[in-house]
Amino acid sequence: MTVHVAKPARGRKRVWHNFFDAMPALADFLILPLVYFVHFRQAATWATGKVACASYAPSDIPEGTATFQTGEHMILSLARRCAITTLVLGTLTLAPIRAGAGEVLVFAAASLKNALDEIAPIFEQQTGHEVTVSYAASSVLARQIQLGAPADLFISANVDWMDVLQDQNLIDADSRVDLLGNELVLIGGAGQDQIGRMQPNVDLSAKLGSGHLAMALVDAVPAGIYGKAALQNLGLWEGVQTRIAQTDNVRAALALVAAGAVPLGIVYQSDAQVEDRVQVVASFPPDLHPPIIYPAAVTASGTTEADAFLNHLQSDVAREVFEQQGFALPGR
């Protein structure tokens, strides 16, 4: 299993093919017909004075190309044939291509890292398929898919970004499922006093002292959006909005609290559960923010292996791992 964490996905593995031994033959059979056609037409233009589709001057002919004798025959040296083949085939083979059969590229919200790192190898062992997972904020991953990143499967931490891709026909709508749920919590270091459930009378500013509150980007990343909505509904946002340490994704907010760089942070329950250096200080009632739902869908260019992996994510084995990691399951 290959993992990319909180970085822009770099697309499929580049596959390199060595054609050098076969270049002369390839030039004769694949490249030269096109060259013959273009230059034959141009030679006829020079001989008759008629206008052709493209305008060349004799000086534009590459050095090393034989002269036109009657407009009917042209000979390229072996070196020239190899050079032409290298240029054309190089252009084709250096471009990213889709992975071969048995590979799945998954774009997943950063909060899913620990769970998918445990689930994916089970799938690989059972099927022989290779799973590559790129973790980042849902917003970042969705934008990469919009720009053509070759993901097979997308798992978002909220429905809005999945809706955007569905509206643009970038996912297979029939494959879309609500895979998981989660809860929002306030975390702190080991020495932080417990609050219980967040209430409007909690003096969050005082608990921060001179420090900041770590949150994922509050206007783009799902965890940050949920956290901001919860604080606004509690009437606490205005008192702390100038003291927010915003991060690219929720795992980065978790890391700030774990490292002691900030006293408190807002993350998912599943995030708090995987980090020993933090504790849950308070929980947020779910009615304070939009429902936390993780939709998953095969992309419009997804493979059959992606369908298989999505089915595996809904299996009893995978669901058990998700529950152990602190996620909620639909219908439970």
The full set of domain ranges for the chain reads 22-93, 99-181+292-324, 184-288
- Say what angle helices 222-234 and 250-258 make with each other, to 10 degrees: 70
Q: Which two tokens stand for residue 265?
A: 């942070």
CATH class of the domain comprising 184-288: alpha beta
In this structure, the number of other CB atoms found within 10 A of the CB of residue 58 comes to 10
Which residues lie below 8 Å from residue 328, measured CB to CB, with a gap of 6+? 180, 181, 182, 183
How far is it, in rounded angstroms, from Cα 160 to Cα 71? 63
Query: How do the pLDDT tens digits run along the chain, 332 residues long?
Result: 655 554 433 333 333 233 333 444 444 444 434 433 333 333 333 333 333 333 333 333 333 333 333 333 333 344 444 444 444 444 333 333 344 448 999 999 999 999 999 999 999 999 999 999 999 989 999 999 999 999 999 999 999 999 999 999 999 999 999 999 999 999 999 888 888 889 998 899 999 999 999 999 999 888 999 999 999 999 999 999 999 999 998 999 999 999 999 999 999 999 999 899 999 999 999 999 999 999 999 999 999 999 999 999 999 999 999 999 999 998 66
Pairing of strands 196-197, 2-5: unpaired
pTM above 0.75, yes or no: no
pLDDT for 57: 36
99-181+292-324 folds as D-Maltodextrin-Binding Protein; domain 2 (3.40.190)
- Say what angle helices 113-127 and 304-313 make with each other, to 10 degrees: 120
Let me know if the fold of 99-181+292-324 is the same as that of 184-288: yes
Query: For 281, which DSSP code?
Result: E
Distance of CA 74 to the CA centre of its chain: 49
**306 bridge partner residues:** none
pLDDT for 95: 36
Distance of CA 111 to the CA centre of its chain: 14
Answer for the pair 179, 313: CB distance below 8 angstroms, yes or no: yes
